[in-house]
Amino acid sequence: MTDAMKSALTKVPAVTLWFWIIKILATTFGETAGDTVSMSMNLGYLVGTAIFASILVLLVAMQIRAKQFHPFLYWATIIASTTAGTTMADFATRSMGIGYPGGSLLLLALVLASLAIWHRALGSISVQTVHEPKAELYYWLTITFSQTLGTALGDWVADGSLGYLGAAVVFGGLLALLVVAYYRTSISRVALFWAAFILTRPLGAVVGDFLDKPVSHGGLELSRAGASLVLGIAITVLILAIPQRAAGRTFAHAV
């Protein structure tokens, strides 16, 4: 690939079906891995958040310094954001005592504020414009807030009468509606992307909880570490087996 061709690409992957499959697996991994550290290892939500947030900051810095798209670096950063999101959401909704409704509203406000500030500063929130450090910072900040929001939403719905499987059906159904909207309406593709990105997180969260929560609470009570290992292997295999290409770059895409 020539330098000119490289310069026409972003440092994030093209949005394809495989992107969403890996994203859901990564969010499920984030739930089980986050619970492994905060619960199974008894380190607590605050210490778990400090660990994963530190890893996230390091990976984001590496991502920004990279000259081009690197699949393993990108997905490692996504996983770091989702594990940090798991422990941050649990800390906000449980340790801070504001509950699922309060935590979800707070995190929704942070996601919307991040998107609004990003759009005001750069004129677009499309992933196709993520090709400079400032855009990348907004991108990863928004992603981290959305991952945290998704965890809180997933826990909120699953802890009600629906349970983990019922919640998975709800979030899966909402994602299906977004697919229909994508193909049958003129709704902004960028808005649909961020809606889907947020909703894949609670879907992964409730699936992760279903795998590792006690049978008495509606889960399968599988080993958190074991489930995380299997999910990590599956993600690695998909990254290696499915060609990963960078998203095309645009300089002006007002949304």
Let me know if residue 198 belongs to a domain: no
The 10 Å Cβ neighbour count of residue 1 is: 8
Let me know if residue 97 belongs to a domain: yes
Question: Looking at residue 243, what is its pLDDT?
Answer: 85
Question: Looking at residue 95, what is its pLDDT?
Answer: 75
- Count up the domains in the chain and report the number: 1
Let me know if residue 75 belongs to a domain: yes
pLDDT tens digits for the chain (255 residues)? 444 444 446 788 989 999 999 999 999 998 888 888 888 888 888 898 899 999 999 999 999 999 889 999 999 999 999 998 888 888 888 777 788 888 889 889 999 999 999 999 999 998 888 888 899 999 999 999 998 898 888 888 988 888 999 999 999 999 999 999 999 999 999 999 999 999 999 998 899 888 888 887 778 888 888 889 999 999 999 999 998 888 776 544 434
List, as one string, the DSSP characters of 114-179. HHHHHHHHHS---GGG--SHHHHHHHHHHHHHHHHHHHHHHHHHHTTTTHHHHHHHHHHHHHHHHH
Let me know if residue 113 belongs to a domain: yes
Let me know if residue 217 belongs to a domain: no
Measured CA to CA, the distance from residue 153 to residue 201 in angstroms comes to 9
Let me know if residue 88 belongs to a domain: yes
Measured CA to CA, the distance from residue 88 to residue 26 in angstroms comes to 17
Question: Looking at residue 151, what is its pLDDT?
Answer: 86
**Residue 95 DSSP code:** I
Give the structural domain span for 77. Answer: 3-151+224-244
Question: Looking at residue 9, what is its pLDDT?
Answer: 64
| pTM for the full predicted model | 0.87
Query: Which tokens sit at 67?
Result: 């000259």
Residues 6 or more apart in contact with residue 213 via CB below 8 angstroms: 164, 219, 220, 221
Let me know if residue 20 belongs to a domain: yes
Query: Which tokens sit at 111?
Result: 């996601």
Let me know if residue 185 belongs to a domain: no
